Amino acid sequence: MDNLIDGRAIAAELNGETRQRVAALASRGIQPHIAFVRVGEDPASKVYVGMKERTSAELGLKSTTHVLPDTTSQADLLALVERLNADRTVHGILVQAPLPRGIDAPTIFSAVDPRKDVDGFHPVNVGKLMLGDAGGFVPCTPGGVHELLIRSGTTIAGAEVVILGRGNIVGKPMAAILVQKAKHADATVTICHSRSADIAGHCRRADILIAALGVARFVKADMVKPGAVVIDVGVNRIADPTAKNGSRLVGDVDFAGVQPVAGKITPNPGGVGPMTIAMLMRNTVQAAESLTC
């Protein structure tokens, strides 16, 4: 049954467009440069930053990674961010979350120059997104989901969208993107969260259901309207005695159960994940273009 939204293929298409913009910058003697900051040795963060470094190189971007020990003070991390803000050769800055205890992530994200905030986490960029100002940076994961919807031919205008999860990285910005009075938006958006009454009832009304709550296989077939578009943002590690390391990653959607009911669905892995990095690359090129124009 081929109702899959192929995130790898759509990310490759987007990366092709990014490559063209990198080439155009190269003809002006400019190479987009992203600085990664990783604090501590969180294993998932190491994997994610490694993937971002690799994609940067593949697309012709320069990347520099700063690794700090998990004993780093907030003042020292702020000093590094300030140095990167002032460095005219750096166009994008990404401080990988989660940060160690004792460091206040919002303080760090707010210290990044908004013009270099390729994560879209700075309050100025959050505000621009809310206001429908296209000049800011859109956070990579919800931005990637938006591109998946657009490029899979999903009708967004007038659709009932239900988002599971109200986090600052996915749920809230996702709602802001889709509710705008704009092309590829104009949806009716509901956000459900841990205190919502009758989540299943909300889900069953959705034409587009976006799961970003961080609960393994939460969305079951009987929560999905037949023909709905289902996007699985979840990354959950569950025990699996048959796996080499005793665990594996699953999404927020019970894929095997939901796929036959859905009109279209993202696989996981291979859906939202590749889009997040593609959007980061695009944001970095956008930063390089606007800082050098």
Could you report how far apart the first and last alpha carbons of the chain are, in Å?
47
CB atoms near residue 213 (< 10 Å): 22
Q: How many CA atoms lie within 13 A of 90 on its CB side?
A: 25
291 binds ligand GUN per the rule CB under 6 A: no
Q: How far is the CB of 197 from ligand GUN (least distance, A)?
A: 29
In the chain, DSSP finds a helix count (H) and a strand count (E) of 10, 10
Chain residues 155-174 in contact with ligand GUN, contact rule CB under 6 A: 169
d(CA 65, CA 50): 9
Whichever of 25 and 280 has its CB closer to ligand GUN, that residue is: 280
**52 flagged as catalytic:** yes
Q: Determine if 11 is a binding residue for ligand GUN (CB under 6 A).
A: no
Quote the distance between the C-alpha of residue 240 and its chain's center: 27
Tell which one of 35, 49, 90, 94 touches ligand GUN (CB under 6 A): 94
Establish if 141 lies at the interface with ligand GUN (CB under 6 A).
yes
* Catalytic annotation, pick one of 6, 113, 117, 119: 119
Nearest approach, Cβ of residue 235 and ligand GUN (Å): 9
The site map against ligand GUN for 231-250 (x = CB under 6 A) is: --------------------
Say which residues have a Cβ less than 8 Å from residue 214's Cβ, sequence separation at least 6.
165, 234, 235, 236, 252
- For the segment 102-121, give every residue that binds ligand GUN (CB under 6 A): 119
* Residue among 162, 207, 157, 214 nearest 186 (CA): 157
Q: By the criterion CB under 6 A, which residues form the site for ligand GUN?
A: 94-97, 119, 140-141, 169
Q: What amino acid positions are annotated as catalytic residues?
A: 52, 96, 119
